Protein backbone atom coordinates (compact mmCIF):
# COMPACT_ATOMS: atom_id res chain seq x y z
CA UNK A 1 0.00 0.00 0.00
CA UNK A 2 1.28 3.40 -1.00
CA UNK A 3 -1.49 5.93 -0.26
CA UNK A 4 -1.51 9.14 -2.25
CA UNK A 5 -3.74 12.14 -1.77
CA UNK A 6 -4.04 15.33 -3.75
CA UNK A 7 -4.45 18.80 -2.30
CA UNK A 8 -5.82 21.72 -4.32
CA UNK A 9 -5.77 24.85 -2.13
CA UNK A 10 -7.14 28.11 -3.53
CA UNK A 11 -5.33 31.23 -2.33
CA UNK A 12 -6.71 34.77 -2.51
CA UNK A 13 -3.77 36.16 -4.46
CA UNK A 14 -3.31 36.21 -8.22
CA UNK A 15 -1.42 39.43 -8.89
CA UNK A 16 1.71 39.51 -6.75
CA UNK A 17 4.06 36.81 -8.02
CA UNK A 18 6.42 37.19 -5.06
CA UNK A 19 3.66 36.22 -2.62
CA UNK A 20 2.62 33.26 -4.77
CA UNK A 21 6.24 32.10 -4.91
CA UNK A 22 6.54 32.22 -1.12
CA UNK A 23 3.40 30.10 -0.73
CA UNK A 24 4.60 27.56 -3.29
CA UNK A 25 8.07 27.37 -1.73
CA UNK A 26 6.46 26.58 1.62
CA UNK A 27 4.75 23.61 -0.03
CA UNK A 28 7.95 22.41 -1.66
CA UNK A 29 9.81 22.66 1.66
CA UNK A 30 8.05 19.48 2.82
CA UNK A 31 9.77 16.24 1.83
CA UNK A 32 7.62 13.72 -0.02
CA UNK A 33 5.36 16.27 -1.70
CA UNK A 34 5.31 17.02 -5.43
CA UNK A 35 4.04 20.40 -6.60
CA UNK A 36 2.29 19.64 -9.88
CA UNK A 37 0.60 22.79 -11.10
CA UNK A 38 0.08 26.50 -10.36
CA UNK A 39 -2.89 28.24 -11.98
CA UNK A 40 -2.83 32.02 -11.51
CA UNK A 41 -5.80 34.26 -12.28
CA UNK A 42 -5.22 38.01 -12.07
CA UNK A 43 -8.85 39.06 -12.58
CA UNK A 44 -10.09 36.51 -10.07
CA UNK A 45 -7.09 37.50 -7.89
CA UNK A 46 -6.78 33.84 -7.03
CA UNK A 47 -4.23 31.08 -7.41
CA UNK A 48 -5.06 27.38 -7.51
CA UNK A 49 -2.18 25.08 -6.56
CA UNK A 50 -2.11 21.30 -7.03
CA UNK A 51 0.24 18.97 -5.18
CA UNK A 52 0.31 15.27 -4.25
CA UNK A 53 2.07 12.95 -1.85
CA UNK A 54 1.66 10.72 1.17
CA UNK A 55 -1.18 11.90 3.43
CA UNK A 56 0.98 13.10 6.34
CA UNK A 57 3.34 15.01 4.04
CA UNK A 58 0.49 16.60 2.11
CA UNK A 59 -1.15 17.77 5.34
CA UNK A 60 2.14 19.24 6.54
CA UNK A 61 2.58 21.06 3.23
CA UNK A 62 -0.98 22.36 3.32
CA UNK A 63 -0.45 23.66 6.85
CA UNK A 64 2.74 25.47 5.84
CA UNK A 65 1.01 26.97 2.80
CA UNK A 66 -1.95 28.18 4.85
CA UNK A 67 0.48 29.63 7.39
CA UNK A 68 2.44 31.48 4.70
CA UNK A 69 -0.72 32.73 3.00
CA UNK A 70 -1.91 34.16 6.32
CA UNK A 71 1.34 36.12 6.55
CA UNK A 72 1.55 37.55 3.04
CA UNK A 73 -2.12 38.08 2.07
CA UNK A 74 -4.19 40.85 3.64
CA UNK A 75 -7.89 40.26 3.14
CA UNK A 76 -8.66 43.82 4.21
CA UNK A 77 -7.42 45.06 0.85
CA UNK A 78 -8.23 42.02 -1.29
CA UNK A 79 -10.58 42.33 -4.23
CA UNK A 80 -11.26 39.95 -7.09
CA UNK A 81 -14.02 38.40 -9.15
CA UNK A 82 -14.03 35.00 -7.47
CA UNK A 83 -16.00 34.45 -4.23
CA UNK A 84 -13.68 34.06 -1.21
CA UNK A 85 -13.69 34.09 2.58
CA UNK A 86 -10.01 34.14 3.52
CA UNK A 87 -6.37 34.19 2.46
CA UNK A 88 -6.65 30.43 1.98
CA UNK A 89 -10.21 30.33 0.75
CA UNK A 90 -10.62 26.58 0.36
CA UNK A 91 -8.31 23.62 0.89
CA UNK A 92 -9.63 20.21 -0.18
CA UNK A 93 -7.94 16.84 0.23
CA UNK A 94 -8.72 14.25 -2.47
CA UNK A 95 -8.03 10.51 -2.27
CA UNK A 96 -6.04 9.39 -5.31
CA UNK A 97 -4.62 5.94 -4.57
CA UNK A 98 -4.75 3.30 -1.80
CA UNK A 99 -6.75 5.45 0.60
CA UNK A 100 -10.47 5.63 1.37
CA UNK A 101 -12.58 8.74 1.58
CA UNK A 102 -13.21 7.91 5.23
CA UNK A 103 -9.51 8.08 6.02
CA UNK A 104 -9.10 11.21 3.90
CA UNK A 105 -11.81 12.85 6.00
CA UNK A 106 -9.81 12.07 9.15
CA UNK A 107 -6.76 13.79 7.68
CA UNK A 108 -8.83 16.81 6.60
CA UNK A 109 -10.37 17.26 10.04
CA UNK A 110 -6.99 16.87 11.71
CA UNK A 111 -5.56 19.54 9.39
CA UNK A 112 -8.52 21.82 10.12
CA UNK A 113 -8.02 21.42 13.87
CA UNK A 114 -4.31 22.15 13.53
CA UNK A 115 -4.96 25.31 11.49
CA UNK A 116 -7.63 26.51 13.89
CA UNK A 117 -5.65 25.86 17.07
CA UNK A 118 -2.10 26.70 15.97
CA UNK A 119 -2.72 29.51 13.47
CA UNK A 120 -5.83 30.92 15.18
CA UNK A 121 -7.74 30.97 11.90
CA UNK A 122 -11.46 30.11 11.92
CA UNK A 123 -12.02 26.91 9.95
CA UNK A 124 -15.23 25.52 8.49
CA UNK A 125 -15.11 21.87 7.42
CA UNK A 126 -16.92 21.09 4.18
CA UNK A 127 -17.94 18.33 1.75
CA UNK A 128 -17.26 14.86 3.19
CA UNK A 129 -15.43 16.34 6.20
CA UNK A 130 -18.42 18.47 7.25
CA UNK A 131 -19.70 17.96 10.79
CA UNK A 132 -23.18 19.26 9.89
CA UNK A 133 -25.10 18.56 6.66
CA UNK A 134 -25.40 22.20 5.57
CA UNK A 135 -21.64 22.62 5.50
CA UNK A 136 -21.17 19.91 2.92
CA UNK A 137 -21.98 22.67 0.44
CA UNK A 138 -19.01 24.96 -0.21
CA UNK A 139 -21.31 27.81 -1.22
CA UNK A 140 -23.07 27.61 2.16
CA UNK A 141 -19.76 27.82 4.01
CA UNK A 142 -18.65 30.78 1.90
CA UNK A 143 -21.97 32.63 1.88
CA UNK A 144 -21.51 36.34 2.55
CA UNK A 145 -17.81 35.98 1.76
CA UNK A 146 -15.11 37.82 3.69
CA UNK A 147 -17.20 41.00 3.99
CA UNK A 148 -19.79 39.20 6.16
CA UNK A 149 -17.29 37.17 8.18
CA UNK A 150 -17.68 39.18 11.39
CA UNK A 151 -21.40 38.46 11.52
CA UNK A 152 -20.92 34.89 10.30
CA UNK A 153 -18.53 34.04 13.14
CA UNK A 154 -21.10 35.14 15.72
CA UNK A 155 -23.99 33.30 14.06
CA UNK A 156 -22.24 30.18 12.73
CA UNK A 157 -19.44 29.10 15.02
CA UNK A 158 -16.55 27.61 13.05
CA UNK A 159 -15.61 24.00 13.57
CA UNK A 160 -12.14 25.01 14.76
CA UNK A 161 -10.40 28.23 15.70
CA UNK A 162 -11.71 31.49 17.17
CA UNK A 163 -15.21 32.78 16.58
CA UNK A 164 -14.45 36.40 17.51
CA UNK A 165 -13.53 38.79 14.72
CA UNK A 166 -10.21 40.29 15.85
CA UNK A 167 -7.44 42.18 14.02
CA UNK A 168 -5.66 38.95 13.06
CA UNK A 169 -8.80 37.46 11.54
CA UNK A 170 -9.50 40.77 9.81
CA UNK A 171 -6.24 40.14 7.94
CA UNK A 172 -6.45 36.37 7.35
CA UNK A 173 -10.18 35.80 7.08
CA UNK A 174 -11.40 32.23 7.55
CA UNK A 175 -10.51 28.96 5.80
CA UNK A 176 -12.69 26.16 4.45
CA UNK A 177 -11.03 22.74 4.68
CA UNK A 178 -12.47 19.41 3.65
CA UNK A 179 -12.28 16.16 1.75
CA UNK A 180 -13.92 15.59 -1.61
CA UNK A 181 -13.79 13.55 -4.77
CA UNK A 182 -12.07 14.76 -7.91
CA UNK A 183 -13.85 17.62 -9.65
CA UNK A 184 -13.31 19.59 -12.81
CA UNK A 185 -12.88 23.37 -12.68
CA UNK A 186 -13.48 24.81 -16.12
CA UNK A 187 -14.29 28.11 -17.81
CA UNK A 188 -16.22 28.30 -21.07
CA UNK A 189 -15.17 31.25 -23.23
CA UNK A 190 -17.85 33.37 -24.91
CA UNK A 191 -17.54 35.74 -27.86
CA UNK A 192 -19.11 38.50 -25.80
CA UNK A 193 -17.98 40.83 -23.04
CA UNK A 194 -21.35 40.68 -21.31
CA UNK A 195 -21.13 39.42 -17.75
CA UNK A 196 -24.94 39.42 -17.63
CA UNK A 197 -25.10 37.00 -20.56
CA UNK A 198 -22.54 34.70 -18.93
CA UNK A 199 -24.44 34.85 -15.63
CA UNK A 200 -27.71 33.99 -17.35
CA UNK A 201 -26.14 30.91 -18.94
CA UNK A 202 -24.59 29.94 -15.59
CA UNK A 203 -27.93 30.22 -13.82
CA UNK A 204 -29.49 27.95 -16.41
CA UNK A 205 -26.98 25.10 -16.10
CA UNK A 206 -26.20 24.91 -12.41
CA UNK A 207 -28.01 22.29 -10.39
CA UNK A 208 -29.57 24.78 -7.99
CA UNK A 209 -30.03 27.61 -10.45
CA UNK A 210 -33.10 29.00 -12.15
CA UNK A 211 -33.83 26.91 -15.19
CA UNK A 212 -36.65 27.86 -17.50
CA UNK A 213 -36.19 24.83 -19.73
CA UNK A 214 -36.44 22.26 -16.96
CA UNK A 215 -32.94 20.81 -17.53
CA UNK A 216 -30.81 20.42 -14.44
CA UNK A 217 -27.20 19.25 -14.58
CA UNK A 218 -26.25 17.23 -11.51
CA UNK A 219 -23.28 18.47 -9.53
CA UNK A 220 -22.90 21.74 -11.43
CA UNK A 221 -21.91 25.01 -9.75
CA UNK A 222 -21.53 27.96 -12.08
CA UNK A 223 -21.14 31.73 -12.20
CA UNK A 224 -20.65 34.21 -15.02
CA UNK A 225 -17.96 36.89 -15.15
CA UNK A 226 -15.98 39.21 -17.42
CA UNK A 227 -12.22 38.59 -17.61
CA UNK A 228 -10.25 41.69 -18.56
CA UNK A 229 -7.09 39.65 -19.24
CA UNK A 230 -8.81 38.07 -22.24
CA UNK A 231 -11.45 40.76 -22.81
CA UNK A 232 -14.23 38.16 -22.81
CA UNK A 233 -17.00 36.88 -20.60
CA UNK A 234 -16.79 33.33 -19.28
CA UNK A 235 -19.11 30.81 -17.69
CA UNK A 236 -17.05 29.49 -14.79
CA UNK A 237 -18.08 25.98 -13.74
CA UNK A 238 -17.21 23.38 -11.12
CA UNK A 239 -18.34 19.88 -12.07
CA UNK A 240 -18.47 18.11 -8.73
CA UNK A 241 -20.00 14.84 -9.93
CA UNK A 242 -17.87 13.99 -12.92
CA UNK A 243 -19.37 10.54 -13.51
CA UNK A 244 -22.96 11.80 -13.49
CA UNK A 245 -22.28 14.87 -15.62
CA UNK A 246 -19.42 14.50 -18.13
CA UNK A 247 -17.45 17.51 -19.31
CA UNK A 248 -18.76 17.21 -22.87
CA UNK A 249 -22.36 17.23 -21.57
CA UNK A 250 -21.76 20.54 -19.81
CA UNK A 251 -19.97 21.95 -22.86
CA UNK A 252 -22.88 21.12 -25.15
CA UNK A 253 -25.43 22.61 -22.76
CA UNK A 254 -23.43 25.84 -22.49
CA UNK A 255 -23.16 25.95 -26.32
CA UNK A 256 -26.91 25.43 -26.60
CA UNK A 257 -27.85 28.10 -24.10
CA UNK A 258 -25.32 30.55 -25.47
CA UNK A 259 -26.76 30.05 -28.94
CA UNK A 260 -30.23 30.84 -27.62
CA UNK A 261 -28.83 34.18 -26.48
CA UNK A 262 -27.07 34.88 -29.77
CA UNK A 263 -23.50 34.21 -28.63
CA UNK A 264 -20.97 31.46 -29.33
CA UNK A 265 -18.66 29.38 -27.14
CA UNK A 266 -15.18 29.84 -28.59
CA UNK A 267 -13.39 27.37 -26.36
CA UNK A 268 -12.75 25.87 -22.95
CA UNK A 269 -10.20 26.71 -20.24
CA UNK A 270 -9.45 23.97 -17.72
CA UNK A 271 -8.26 25.27 -14.35
CA UNK A 272 -5.66 23.10 -12.64
CA UNK A 273 -5.35 19.48 -13.71
CA UNK A 274 -7.88 17.13 -15.27
CA UNK A 275 -8.10 13.32 -15.04
CA UNK A 276 -7.24 11.73 -18.39
CA UNK A 277 -10.43 9.66 -18.46
CA UNK A 278 -12.48 12.85 -18.63
CA UNK A 279 -10.88 13.87 -21.91
CA UNK A 280 -10.88 10.36 -23.35
CA UNK A 281 -14.61 10.09 -22.62
CA UNK A 282 -15.17 13.45 -24.32
CA UNK A 283 -13.16 12.40 -27.36
CA UNK A 284 -15.09 9.13 -27.55
CA UNK A 285 -18.38 11.02 -27.34
CA UNK A 286 -17.52 13.52 -30.07
CA UNK A 287 -16.29 10.77 -32.38
CA UNK A 288 -19.48 8.80 -31.79
CA UNK A 289 -21.39 11.77 -33.20
CA UNK A 290 -19.40 11.66 -36.43
CA UNK A 291 -20.40 9.47 -39.35
CA UNK A 292 -18.39 6.32 -40.05
CA UNK A 293 -16.50 6.52 -36.79
CA UNK A 294 -16.32 3.73 -34.21
CA UNK A 295 -14.68 5.12 -31.05
CA UNK A 296 -14.06 1.60 -29.76
CA UNK A 297 -11.38 1.18 -32.41
CA UNK A 298 -9.74 4.58 -31.92
CA UNK A 299 -6.44 5.05 -30.09
CA UNK A 300 -6.23 7.00 -26.87
CA UNK A 301 -4.09 9.69 -28.48
CA UNK A 302 -6.69 10.29 -31.20
CA UNK A 303 -9.44 10.44 -28.59
CA UNK A 304 -7.39 13.01 -26.71
CA UNK A 305 -6.70 15.02 -29.85
CA UNK A 306 -10.42 15.01 -30.69
CA UNK A 307 -11.37 16.24 -27.21
CA UNK A 308 -8.82 19.06 -27.36
CA UNK A 309 -10.13 20.15 -30.75
CA UNK A 310 -13.88 19.86 -30.09
CA UNK A 311 -13.74 21.46 -26.63
CA UNK A 312 -11.48 24.25 -27.90
CA UNK A 313 -8.88 23.68 -25.22
CA UNK A 314 -6.28 25.66 -27.20
CA UNK A 315 -8.49 28.75 -27.39
CA UNK A 316 -6.67 30.96 -24.87
CA UNK A 317 -3.34 29.15 -24.57
CA UNK A 318 -1.83 25.89 -25.80
CA UNK A 319 -3.18 22.82 -24.02
CA UNK A 320 -0.20 20.56 -23.27
CA UNK A 321 -1.42 17.11 -22.15
CA UNK A 322 1.72 16.29 -20.18
CA UNK A 323 1.29 19.52 -18.20
CA UNK A 324 -2.50 19.48 -17.73
CA UNK A 325 -3.47 15.82 -17.31
CA UNK A 326 -3.30 14.66 -13.69
CA UNK A 327 -1.90 11.16 -14.25
CA UNK A 328 0.77 12.35 -16.66
CA UNK A 329 1.89 15.26 -14.53
CA UNK A 330 1.91 13.25 -11.31
CA UNK A 331 3.32 10.14 -12.99
CA UNK A 332 0.94 7.93 -11.01
CA UNK A 333 -1.49 5.24 -12.03
CA UNK A 334 -4.74 4.21 -10.40
Q: List pLDDT tens digits, range 219-248.
A: 999 999 999 989 999 999 999 999 999 999
In this predicted structure, the answer to whether residue 264 has a pLDDT above a threshold of 80 is yes
pLDDT at 265: 98
Whether residue 163 has pLDDT greater than 80:
yes
What is the pLDDT confidence band of residue 305, given thresholds at 50, 70 and 90?
A: very high
Does the structure show a pLDDT above 70 at 22? Answer: yes
Q: What is the pLDDT of residue 215?
A: 64
Active-site position among 37, 78, 82, 248: 82
pLDDT grade, residue 289 (50/70/90)? confident
Q: Which residues of 162-173 are buried (b: 16+ CB within 10 A; e: fewer)?
A: beebeeebebbb
pLDDT of residue 295: 64
Q: What is the C-alpha to C-alpha distance for residues 124 and 64, in angstroms, rounded to an integer?
A: 18
The CA-atom distances, in angstroms, between 73 and each of 11, 16, 22, 274 are 9, 10, 11, 28
Predicted confidence band at 292 (pLDDT cuts at 50, 70, 90)? low
Catalytic-residue membership of 82: yes
Mean pLDDT of the chain: 93
Q: Where are the domains of the chain?
A: 4-179, 184-330
pLDDT(214) > 70? no
Q: Report yes or no: 46 and 89 within 8 Å, Cβ to Cβ.
A: yes
How does residue 189 score in pLDDT terms, banded at 50, 70 and 90? very high
Q: Beta-strand (E) ranges in the chain?
A: 4-7, 10-11, 33-41, 46-53, 88-97, 123-127, 175-179, 184-190, 220-227, 232-239, 265-271
- Nearest 5°: the CA angle 210, 212, 216 is 65
Tell me the pLDDT tens digit for each residue of 53-110: 999 999 999 999 999 999 999 999 999 989 999 999 999 999 999 999 999 999 999 9
To the nearest 5 percent, what fractions of the chain are helix, strand and coil? 40, 25, 35
Distance CA 181, CA 105 (A): 11
- State how beta strands 46-53 and 33-41 pair: antiparallel
When pLDDT is averaged across residues 7-22 and rounded to a whole number, the result is 98
Class of domain 4-179: alpha beta
Q: Average pLDDT in the 308-318 region? A: 97
Please state which of the four CATH numbers 3.40.50.2000, 3.30.70.670, 3.30.70.100, 3.30.70.260 is assigned to the domain occupying 184-330. Answer: 3.30.70.670
pLDDT of 123 above 70: yes
As a whole number, mean pLDDT of residues 301-330 equals 95
Residues 6+ apart with CB under 8 A from 268: 186, 187, 188, 189, 251, 311, 312, 313, 315
Burial of 301 (C-beta count, 10 Å sphere; 0-12/13-18/19+): exposed
Amino acid sequence: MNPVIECVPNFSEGRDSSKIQLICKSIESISGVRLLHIDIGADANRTVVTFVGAPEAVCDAAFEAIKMASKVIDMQIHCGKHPRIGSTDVCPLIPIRDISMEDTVKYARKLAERVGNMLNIPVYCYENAAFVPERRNLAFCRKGEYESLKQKLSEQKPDFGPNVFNPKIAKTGAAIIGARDLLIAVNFNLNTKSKDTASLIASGIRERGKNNNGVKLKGIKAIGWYIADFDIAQVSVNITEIEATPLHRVFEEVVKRAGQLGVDVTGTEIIGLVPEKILLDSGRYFLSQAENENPANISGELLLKTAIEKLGLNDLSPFIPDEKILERKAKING
